[in-house]
Amino acid sequence: MDAEQKKELEHIIQSYRDTNLDTINYWWEYSSFDSWRFWLTFILLAVPLLVLYFKIDRNRVYQIGFYGFAIHMLGVYVDTIGTNYGFWSYPYKMIPVLPTSFTLTSSMIPVAFMLMYQWQSRKRINYYLCAAGVSAIFVFIIHPIFMWLDMFQMYRGFNYLIMYVNYFGGSIMAKLVLDAFVYLNKKNDTIRIRKIK
């Protein structure tokens, strides 16, 4: 690494540090423990996880959990990209060092999709119709409520239609990932059975 490249990299790292310090200072000023929005985000984080604890099918906990983890990770990636590029922001967050909404990406969204997946697979209802419905609830009901509460803001032409594509596209990708791992697991079980015989 030459001196100019090293200097440019150090400038970028310092910019990250400055931005993180500004974000933490903003959080302490407007979004910390003395704000009702902090406690609302805490409740919106805790309640879905409690519901999941009591409602998840214990016989399929690994499969449903893996699906939820896939939804969570895809949500974190999309949310991080969107906030880093300034398409949306969360003025009030529970954890200031994360660019994403910890409440949405770690609890509300994964839990809603996990319970939907559990329900639709048990009832044998089309997954994509159910995923489209859950996506619509988040995009056209929950996010507008968050905007009304000033807990979510959109910028630079980002809109609900693009958001819907993100949600529904993420649910399709999570299902494909899950299906691939279920297929590999079944294939592995078949090979193991043949070896035992």
pLDDT band, very low/low/confident/very high, at 99 (cuts 50, 70, 90) = confident
The answer to whether residue 13 is domain-embedded is no
pLDDT score, position 143: 97
Structural domain harbouring 156: 31-196
Which residue in the block uniquely carries the two structure tokens 């030459």?
Answer: 2
Q: Is the pLDDT of residue 39 over 80?
A: yes
| CA 98 to centroid of chain Cα atoms | 12
Structural domain total, the chain: 1
pLDDT score, position 10: 92
pLDDT score, position 188: 67
Both structure tokens of 31 = 């979004």
Q: What does the pLDDT look like over 113-142, one tens digit per residue?
A: 999 999 999 999 999 999 999 999 999 999
pLDDT band, very low/low/confident/very high, at 191 (cuts 50, 70, 90) = low
The answer to whether residue 14 is domain-embedded is no
Asked if 137 and 146 count as a contact pair (C-beta separation under 8 A), the reply is no
Mean pLDDT across the stretch 150-170?
A: 95
The answer to whether residue 19 is domain-embedded is no
The answer to whether residue 140 is domain-embedded is yes
Tell me the whole-structure pTM to 2 decimals: 0.89
Q: Is the pLDDT of residue 194 over 60?
A: no
The answer to whether residue 17 is domain-embedded is no
The answer to whether residue 63 is domain-embedded is yes
> DSSP character for 141?
I
Q: What rounded mean pLDDT belongs to the chain?
A: 91
The answer to whether residue 25 is domain-embedded is no
The answer to whether residue 80 is domain-embedded is yes
